[in-house]
Structure 1
Amino acid sequence: MPRFNTHKILGRFAAALAAVSLCAFAGMAQAEAAHETSAAKSWQTGLHRTDLVKRDLGVSDREVIQVRVDFEPGVAAPRHSHPGVEVAYVISGTFQYQLEGQPAVTLNAGDSLYIPEGTAHTATNIGTTAGSELATYIVKKDTPLVVLQK
Protein backbone atom coordinates (compact mmCIF):
# COMPACT_ATOMS: atom_id res chain seq x y z
CA MET A 1 0.00 0.00 0.00
CA PRO A 2 1.53 3.37 -1.02
CA ARG A 3 2.28 5.88 1.70
CA PHE A 4 2.02 9.62 1.20
CA ASN A 5 4.85 11.70 2.48
CA THR A 6 3.07 14.91 3.48
CA HIS A 7 6.28 16.90 3.91
CA LYS A 8 7.48 15.88 0.46
CA ILE A 9 4.14 16.76 -1.18
CA LEU A 10 3.93 20.13 0.63
CA GLY A 11 7.52 20.90 -0.27
CA ARG A 12 6.87 20.21 -3.95
CA PHE A 13 3.65 22.24 -3.83
CA ALA A 14 5.48 25.18 -2.25
CA ALA A 15 8.24 24.97 -4.86
CA ALA A 16 5.67 24.86 -7.67
CA LEU A 17 3.78 27.81 -6.18
CA ALA A 18 7.01 29.80 -5.87
CA ALA A 19 7.90 29.03 -9.50
CA VAL A 20 4.46 30.08 -10.75
CA SER A 21 4.60 33.28 -8.68
CA LEU A 22 8.07 34.10 -9.98
CA CYS A 23 6.96 33.56 -13.59
CA ALA A 24 3.88 35.71 -13.07
CA PHE A 25 5.93 38.48 -11.46
CA ALA A 26 8.50 38.36 -14.28
CA GLY A 27 5.70 38.49 -16.86
CA MET A 28 4.12 41.50 -15.15
CA ALA A 29 7.49 43.25 -14.99
CA GLN A 30 8.06 42.63 -18.71
CA ALA A 31 4.55 43.84 -19.56
CA GLU A 32 5.06 46.98 -17.45
CA ALA A 33 8.42 47.67 -19.08
CA ALA A 34 6.89 47.19 -22.53
CA HIS A 35 4.02 49.52 -21.58
CA GLU A 36 6.43 52.18 -20.31
CA THR A 37 8.51 51.88 -23.48
CA SER A 38 5.46 52.14 -25.74
CA ALA A 39 4.07 55.04 -23.69
CA ALA A 40 7.39 56.87 -23.90
CA LYS A 41 7.40 56.45 -27.68
CA SER A 42 3.67 56.88 -28.24
CA TRP A 43 3.63 60.68 -28.09
CA GLN A 44 6.05 60.73 -31.01
CA THR A 45 3.70 58.69 -33.18
CA GLY A 46 0.38 59.30 -31.42
CA LEU A 47 0.35 63.11 -31.67
CA HIS A 48 -0.33 64.83 -34.96
CA ARG A 49 0.09 68.60 -35.27
CA THR A 50 -1.44 70.69 -38.02
CA ASP A 51 -0.19 74.28 -38.18
CA LEU A 52 -3.10 76.61 -38.96
CA VAL A 53 -2.03 80.22 -38.36
CA LYS A 54 1.24 82.02 -37.68
CA ARG A 55 0.98 85.83 -37.67
CA ASP A 56 2.85 88.79 -36.33
CA LEU A 57 0.83 90.57 -33.64
CA GLY A 58 2.18 93.96 -34.63
CA VAL A 59 4.19 94.02 -31.42
CA SER A 60 7.91 93.82 -32.01
CA ASP A 61 8.55 90.58 -30.15
CA ARG A 62 5.22 88.63 -30.19
CA GLU A 63 3.31 86.44 -32.63
CA VAL A 64 0.18 84.30 -32.55
CA ILE A 65 0.36 80.65 -33.56
CA GLN A 66 -2.62 78.35 -33.82
CA VAL A 67 -2.24 74.58 -34.09
CA ARG A 68 -4.63 71.65 -34.19
CA VAL A 69 -3.27 68.73 -32.17
CA ASP A 70 -4.80 65.29 -32.64
CA PHE A 71 -4.14 62.67 -29.95
CA GLU A 72 -4.67 58.96 -30.33
CA PRO A 73 -6.42 57.30 -27.35
CA GLY A 74 -4.24 57.11 -24.25
CA VAL A 75 -1.49 59.31 -25.66
CA ALA A 76 0.09 61.96 -23.46
CA ALA A 77 2.10 64.96 -24.60
CA PRO A 78 5.42 65.03 -22.75
CA ARG A 79 5.90 67.57 -19.96
CA HIS A 80 6.66 70.87 -21.68
CA SER A 81 6.23 74.64 -21.58
CA HIS A 82 5.88 77.50 -24.06
CA PRO A 83 7.57 80.95 -24.38
CA GLY A 84 4.18 82.62 -24.00
CA VAL A 85 0.59 81.83 -23.08
CA GLU A 86 -1.49 79.01 -24.49
CA VAL A 87 -5.25 78.72 -24.71
CA ALA A 88 -6.27 75.10 -25.29
CA TYR A 89 -9.77 74.41 -26.65
CA VAL A 90 -10.96 70.80 -26.77
CA ILE A 91 -12.54 70.10 -30.16
CA SER A 92 -13.33 66.44 -29.44
CA GLY A 93 -12.59 63.82 -26.84
CA THR A 94 -11.72 63.95 -23.16
CA PHE A 95 -8.38 65.29 -21.95
CA GLN A 96 -6.66 65.55 -18.62
CA TYR A 97 -4.32 68.54 -18.25
CA GLN A 98 -1.75 68.70 -15.49
CA LEU A 99 -0.27 72.16 -14.95
CA GLU A 100 2.72 72.49 -12.65
CA GLY A 101 1.64 73.30 -9.10
CA GLN A 102 -2.08 72.78 -9.78
CA PRO A 103 -4.45 69.84 -9.47
CA ALA A 104 -5.21 67.93 -12.68
CA VAL A 105 -8.25 69.11 -14.62
CA THR A 106 -10.40 67.12 -17.04
CA LEU A 107 -11.83 68.84 -20.11
CA ASN A 108 -14.37 67.63 -22.64
CA ALA A 109 -15.32 68.88 -26.10
CA GLY A 110 -16.20 72.57 -25.88
CA ASP A 111 -14.07 73.26 -22.77
CA SER A 112 -10.99 75.48 -22.76
CA LEU A 113 -8.02 76.14 -20.52
CA TYR A 114 -5.58 79.03 -20.10
CA ILE A 115 -1.95 78.02 -19.56
CA PRO A 116 0.35 80.82 -18.36
CA GLU A 117 3.70 81.55 -19.99
CA GLY A 118 6.46 79.15 -18.99
CA THR A 119 4.17 76.82 -17.02
CA ALA A 120 5.24 73.19 -17.39
CA HIS A 121 2.28 70.97 -18.27
CA THR A 122 1.08 67.76 -19.86
CA ALA A 123 -2.06 66.86 -21.77
CA THR A 124 -3.37 63.31 -21.98
CA ASN A 125 -6.20 61.90 -24.07
CA ILE A 126 -7.95 59.88 -21.37
CA GLY A 127 -10.79 58.90 -23.69
CA THR A 128 -11.20 55.71 -25.68
CA THR A 129 -11.31 57.47 -29.06
CA ALA A 130 -9.08 59.97 -30.84
CA GLY A 131 -9.29 63.49 -29.45
CA SER A 132 -8.36 66.93 -30.77
CA GLU A 133 -7.50 70.29 -29.31
CA LEU A 134 -7.04 73.71 -30.83
CA ALA A 135 -4.00 75.33 -29.25
CA THR A 136 -3.59 79.09 -29.60
CA TYR A 137 -0.28 80.55 -28.49
CA ILE A 138 0.78 84.16 -28.01
CA VAL A 139 4.52 83.75 -27.84
CA LYS A 140 7.89 85.39 -28.28
CA LYS A 141 9.04 85.50 -31.90
CA ASP A 142 12.04 83.49 -33.04
CA THR A 143 11.85 81.21 -30.00
CA PRO A 144 11.16 77.46 -30.05
CA LEU A 145 7.42 76.95 -29.46
CA VAL A 146 7.84 73.86 -27.29
CA VAL A 147 10.41 73.43 -24.53
CA LEU A 148 10.54 69.86 -23.16
CA GLN A 149 10.78 69.68 -19.37
CA LYS A 150 11.99 66.92 -17.07
Structure 2
Amino acid sequence: MIQFHGQFTALQRTLIAAALSISVLAETATAQTGDQKESIAKTTAGNWQSGLHRTDLVAHDLTGTNQQVIQVLVDFDAGVAAPKHSHPGVEVAYVIKGTIEYTVEGQKPRVLKAGESLYIPPGLPHVAKNIGKDVSSELATYIVEKGKPLVKPEK
Protein backbone atom coordinates (compact mmCIF):
# COMPACT_ATOMS: atom_id res chain seq x y z
CA MET A 1 0.00 0.00 0.00
CA ILE A 2 1.23 3.52 -0.76
CA GLN A 3 1.68 5.44 2.47
CA PHE A 4 1.23 9.20 2.65
CA HIS A 5 2.41 11.42 5.45
CA GLY A 6 3.09 15.13 5.64
CA GLN A 7 1.58 18.19 4.05
CA PHE A 8 -0.37 16.79 1.08
CA THR A 9 -4.14 17.20 1.19
CA ALA A 10 -6.43 14.20 1.07
CA LEU A 11 -7.32 15.12 -2.53
CA GLN A 12 -3.64 15.24 -3.58
CA ARG A 13 -3.02 11.87 -1.94
CA THR A 14 -6.03 10.36 -3.72
CA LEU A 15 -4.93 11.76 -7.09
CA ILE A 16 -1.38 10.41 -6.75
CA ALA A 17 -2.60 6.95 -5.75
CA ALA A 18 -5.17 6.96 -8.57
CA ALA A 19 -2.59 8.04 -11.15
CA LEU A 20 -0.25 5.21 -10.18
CA SER A 21 -3.11 2.70 -10.26
CA ILE A 22 -4.20 3.86 -13.70
CA SER A 23 -0.61 3.49 -14.87
CA VAL A 24 -0.55 -0.18 -13.94
CA LEU A 25 -3.85 -0.81 -15.73
CA ALA A 26 -2.66 1.06 -18.83
CA GLU A 27 0.67 -0.78 -18.77
CA THR A 28 -0.92 -4.20 -18.70
CA ALA A 29 -3.40 -3.26 -21.45
CA THR A 30 -0.82 -1.77 -23.82
CA ALA A 31 0.56 -3.94 -26.62
CA GLN A 32 4.28 -4.56 -26.16
CA THR A 33 6.69 -7.32 -26.99
CA GLY A 34 5.86 -10.50 -25.08
CA ASP A 35 9.02 -10.53 -22.95
CA GLN A 36 8.82 -6.81 -22.16
CA LYS A 37 5.15 -6.97 -21.23
CA GLU A 38 5.67 -10.05 -19.05
CA SER A 39 8.61 -8.40 -17.28
CA ILE A 40 6.68 -5.19 -16.61
CA ALA A 41 3.62 -7.08 -15.40
CA LYS A 42 5.69 -9.16 -12.96
CA THR A 43 7.58 -6.11 -11.68
CA THR A 44 4.76 -3.62 -11.32
CA ALA A 45 1.36 -5.28 -11.12
CA GLY A 46 2.47 -8.01 -8.76
CA ASN A 47 4.02 -6.01 -5.98
CA TRP A 48 4.40 -2.27 -6.48
CA GLN A 49 1.22 -1.42 -4.59
CA SER A 50 2.44 -3.19 -1.46
CA GLY A 51 6.17 -2.70 -2.01
CA LEU A 52 6.38 1.04 -2.70
CA HIS A 53 6.16 3.32 0.34
CA ARG A 54 5.98 7.12 0.04
CA THR A 55 6.44 9.64 2.80
CA ASP A 56 5.55 13.18 1.72
CA LEU A 57 7.99 15.56 3.40
CA VAL A 58 7.53 19.06 1.93
CA ALA A 59 5.13 20.83 -0.40
CA HIS A 60 5.72 24.56 -0.72
CA ASP A 61 4.85 27.20 -3.30
CA LEU A 62 7.79 29.02 -4.89
CA THR A 63 7.17 32.73 -4.36
CA GLY A 64 6.42 34.73 -7.49
CA THR A 65 6.05 31.69 -9.74
CA ASN A 66 3.45 29.19 -10.82
CA GLN A 67 5.58 26.39 -9.38
CA GLN A 68 6.00 24.49 -6.16
CA VAL A 69 8.68 22.30 -4.66
CA ILE A 70 7.66 18.88 -3.40
CA GLN A 71 9.93 16.47 -1.60
CA VAL A 72 9.11 12.80 -1.05
CA LEU A 73 10.90 9.88 0.56
CA VAL A 74 10.28 6.71 -1.46
CA ASP A 75 11.15 3.27 -0.08
CA PHE A 76 11.23 0.37 -2.57
CA ASP A 77 11.05 -3.20 -1.33
CA ALA A 78 13.51 -5.56 -3.07
CA GLY A 79 12.64 -6.02 -6.75
CA VAL A 80 9.88 -3.40 -6.78
CA ALA A 81 9.56 -0.86 -9.60
CA ALA A 82 7.41 2.25 -9.79
CA PRO A 83 5.12 2.09 -12.85
CA LYS A 84 6.21 4.13 -15.89
CA HIS A 85 5.28 7.77 -15.28
CA SER A 86 6.31 11.40 -15.75
CA HIS A 87 6.02 14.68 -13.84
CA PRO A 88 4.94 18.22 -14.86
CA GLY A 89 8.39 19.55 -13.95
CA VAL A 90 11.84 18.37 -13.01
CA GLU A 91 12.72 15.59 -10.60
CA VAL A 92 16.02 15.19 -8.80
CA ALA A 93 16.31 11.68 -7.38
CA TYR A 94 18.92 11.08 -4.66
CA VAL A 95 19.52 7.49 -3.54
CA ILE A 96 19.74 7.33 0.24
CA LYS A 97 20.33 3.59 0.52
CA GLY A 98 20.42 0.55 -1.70
CA THR A 99 20.67 0.32 -5.48
CA ILE A 100 18.07 1.71 -7.88
CA GLU A 101 18.00 1.42 -11.65
CA TYR A 102 16.47 4.41 -13.44
CA THR A 103 15.21 3.98 -16.99
CA VAL A 104 14.47 7.40 -18.49
CA GLU A 105 12.94 7.50 -21.96
CA GLY A 106 15.57 8.14 -24.63
CA GLN A 107 18.49 7.39 -22.27
CA LYS A 108 20.43 4.29 -21.33
CA PRO A 109 19.38 2.81 -17.96
CA ARG A 110 21.48 4.08 -15.06
CA VAL A 111 22.20 2.27 -11.83
CA LEU A 112 22.63 4.51 -8.80
CA LYS A 113 23.84 3.57 -5.34
CA ALA A 114 23.56 5.43 -2.04
CA GLY A 115 24.95 8.95 -2.36
CA GLU A 116 24.33 9.28 -6.10
CA SER A 117 21.69 11.41 -7.80
CA LEU A 118 19.96 11.83 -11.13
CA TYR A 119 18.23 14.76 -12.85
CA ILE A 120 15.06 13.87 -14.77
CA PRO A 121 13.83 16.61 -17.16
CA PRO A 122 10.17 17.69 -17.18
CA GLY A 123 7.71 15.34 -18.83
CA LEU A 124 10.15 12.51 -19.57
CA PRO A 125 8.63 9.09 -18.84
CA HIS A 126 10.72 6.96 -16.51
CA VAL A 127 10.77 3.92 -14.26
CA ALA A 128 12.73 3.44 -11.03
CA LYS A 129 13.40 -0.11 -9.85
CA ASN A 130 15.12 -1.45 -6.76
CA ILE A 131 17.58 -3.98 -8.15
CA GLY A 132 19.10 -4.77 -4.76
CA LYS A 133 18.27 -7.52 -2.28
CA ASP A 134 17.16 -5.14 0.51
CA VAL A 135 14.97 -2.07 0.77
CA SER A 136 16.26 0.88 -1.27
CA SER A 137 15.31 4.49 -0.57
CA GLU A 138 15.35 7.67 -2.62
CA LEU A 139 14.71 11.29 -1.80
CA ALA A 140 12.74 12.68 -4.74
CA THR A 141 12.62 16.45 -5.11
CA TYR A 142 10.25 17.90 -7.69
CA ILE A 143 9.88 21.44 -9.00
CA VAL A 144 6.52 21.31 -10.72
CA GLU A 145 3.70 23.47 -11.98
CA LYS A 146 1.05 24.22 -9.37
CA GLY A 147 -2.36 22.73 -9.98
CA LYS A 148 -1.15 19.81 -12.09
CA PRO A 149 -1.09 16.23 -10.81
CA LEU A 150 2.38 15.29 -9.57
CA VAL A 151 2.32 11.94 -11.37
CA LYS A 152 1.20 11.32 -14.94
CA PRO A 153 0.87 7.64 -15.90
CA GLU A 154 2.64 6.71 -19.14
CA LYS A 155 2.22 3.79 -21.50
TM-score (normalised: structure 1): 0.74
Match of 1:127 in 2: 132
Alignment of 1:1-150 (within 5 A): 36=41, 39-150=44-155
- Per-residue Cα deviation, 1:10-64 (whole angstroms, up to 9, x for no partner): xxxxxxxxxxxxxxxxxxxxxxx7x945741311111000000001111331000
Code of the residue aligned with 1:68 in structure 2: it is L
Distance 1:117 1:76 in 2: 20
Aligned identity (percent) is 60
Q: CA deviation at 1:92?
A: 0.3
- Aligned residues between the structures: 117
Provide the secondary structure at the position in 2 that maps to 1:101: coil
Higher relative contact order (CA 8 A, sep 6+): 2
TM-score (normalised: structure 2): 0.72
Runs of 5+ in structure 2 lacking a partner? 1-37
Whose helix fraction is larger, Structure 1's or Structure 2's? 1
Code of the residue aligned with 1:48 in structure 2: it is H
